[in-house]
Amino acid sequence: MSLDQSELDLIRASISKIAEQFDLEYWRQKDVEKDYPWDFKDALAAGGWLGMMMPEQYGGMGLGLTEVGVVLDELGRKCGFNANSVFQYYVFPPGPVIHHGSEAMKREFLPRLASGQEMMCFGVSEPDNGVDTSRLKTFARRDGGRYLVSGRKVWISNAKNADRILLLTRTAPRDPARPYDGMTLFLTKLKGKPGVVINRIDKIMRNAVDSNEIVFEDFEVYEDEIVGQEGQGFRCLIDGLNPERIAVAQTAVGLGRGALELTVQYAKDRIVFDRPIGKNQAVAHPLADAWMRLEAADLVTQKAARLFDEGKPCGPEANTAKYLATDAAFIAADAAMQFHGGYSMATEYHVSRFWMEARHLKIAPISQQMVCNFIADKVLGLPKSY
C-alpha cells in the first residue's frame, strides 16, 4: 500500500509531535545514564508506529520503506540515533519472520511485537568473522527434538531487554563449495532462559540502546522455532539486507539534517567581530554544500525505497543510498563541530552526539569500502577482490 504526499506529510506531522515530547536534552540524559527510553517506545506503540511494515492481519499497518523513511528522517533530525534505533528494531529484524516464518510463528509473535508488548534482538554478528557471515561459528547441535546452541555473538543491540532473539547459527559445517548453506535461523525466547550470558559493551555513543556480547552454552532451541528451512537460514536473512541499508540511509539523512539545523541557527546567533559568523562565506559555503549533499542523498534513498516497495531489484540503489547518505551526514555533522568551535565539546550543544552517530553509520551495518566492492563487482563487472 503506497501513500500520496499528503498522507506522508501527515505521518511526518504525527511523528514530529511525538519527537517534540522527547527533546535533545532527554536523549542526552538517556545516553549519559545508559537508560533505555521505555516511555518513548510506549509513545510509538500507542500510535501504532511499531508495526508499520508488518501485515495488517498481524496487527501492523502494512506500509513500506517509503513511509518508514519519513519516520526515520524525522526522528533522526529531531532526536538522533538512539530514537531511530528504538524504532528500527521493531521494523526491520522481523522481516525474515514475515517472509519465511510459519503461520503459527507469525500469529504468535508479530502482533505482540507490533503492539510493543515484546522486544526482539538480532543475533548474527560474531567476534571473528566480520562481514563474512559464512564463517560464523555459533553451532546448533541437534539433540533429539531440540538443538543445543553454543557460541558467541557480538554487537547485539537490545539483548539486555529483549524477549526473543532471531538467532543465526550453523547446523552443518561450512562447505567451501557452498559456504552459505548449512546455516539455520531460529526465533526463540531469550529472556530468563538458561544457557546464555549477556554482557553489555561500553560504547562512546548510542548508549540509550544497549549493545552486547552474548555467550551461548547448550542454549535450547526447537524445531518449530526455525524460520524457513533448516540449513537455509542465510537465504532468509538476506531478504533484510537491502531494507536495512536503505533504513540506515534514511536515518543518516535525518541525522545530517538535524546537525545542519543546529549549526545554521548557531551561525545566525553567534556574533564574532560584530557580525554573525554565518555571514562569512567560510562558514556559509560548507553549510550550503552540506545541504545539497543531503538533498542528493535523500533522492537516491527515496528511489531505493520505492524500488524495494515495488518488489523490484534494488541492491545497487540500496548500497549507493547507504554510502552517499552516511557520507553526507558526516560532512554535515563535521561542519557542525567545526563551526560550533569550542562549544562543540560541550554536550549541552548536542552536536558532538550527532557527529559520533553519523561517524558510526559509515561503518555499520556495512562499511563504505564493502559498498564500493559491491558496486565494482555487481554493477561495473570488475573482478571480485575478496
Average pLDDT over every residue of 350-355? 97
Span 4-41, pLDDT tens digits: 899 999 999 999 999 999 999 999 999 999 999 999 99
Q: Which domain holds residue 32?
A: 5-114
pLDDT in tens, 59-112: 999 999 999 999 999 999 999 999 999 999 998 889 999 999 999 999 999 999
> Mean pLDDT, the chain, as a whole number?
96
- What is the signed CA dihedral for 10, 313, 87, 129, rounded to 10 degrees? -170
**d(Cα 215, Cα 149) in Å, to the nearest integer?**
10
At 3, the pLDDT band (50, 70, 90 cuts) reads confident
- In a domain? residue 166: yes
**Same domain for 242 and 375:** yes
pLDDT at 379: 97
pLDDT at residue 370 tops 70:
yes
Query: Are 169 and 185 in the same domain?
Result: yes
What is the rounded average pLDDT of the residues 151-159?
A: 96
Instruction: Give the pLDDT confidence score for residue 229 in this predicted structure.
Output: 96
Whether residues 254 and 323 share a domain: the answer is yes
Same-domain check for residues 262 and 153:
no
CA distance 74 to 22: 13
As to burial, measured by CB atoms within 10 angstroms (0-12 exposed, 13-18 middle, 19+ buried), residue 59 is: middle
List the end-to-end C-alpha distance of the chain, in Å, as a whole number. 39
Any domain includes 147: yes
Domain boundary among 168, 201, 233: 233
Do 328 and 285 have their domain in common? yes
Query: Could you tell me the CATH number of the domain that includes residue 370?
Result: 1.20.140.10
Q: What are the CA-CA distances from residue 286 to residues 44, 267, 293 (Å)? A: 35, 12, 10
Residue 26 lies in a domain: yes
8 Å CB contact between 164 and 187 = yes
> What is the spatial distance between Cα 72 and Cα 87, in angstroms, rounded to a whole number?
8
pLDDT above 90 as % of the chain: 94
Residue 260 Cα to chain centre, angstroms: 21
Question: 375 with 243, same domain?
Answer: yes
Same-domain check for residues 245 and 373: yes
Is the pTM higher than 0.75? yes
Measured CA to CA in angstroms, residue 300 lies from 65, 303, 304 at distances of 13, 5, 6
Residue 96 lies in a domain: yes
The CATH number of whichever domain residue 201 belongs to comes to: 2.40.110.10
**CATH number of the domain bearing residue 67:** 1.10.540.10
Total domains present in the chain: 3
Beta bridge pairs of residue 253:
none
The answer to whether residue 131 scores a pLDDT higher than 90 is no
Please say if the pLDDT value at position 1 is more than 80.
no
Residues 354 and 308 placed together within one structural domain of the fold:
yes
Query: 166: closest CA among 122, 223, 198?
Result: 122
Q: Which of 165, 198, 233 is the last residue of a domain?
A: 233
Whether residues 246 and 302 share a domain: the answer is yes
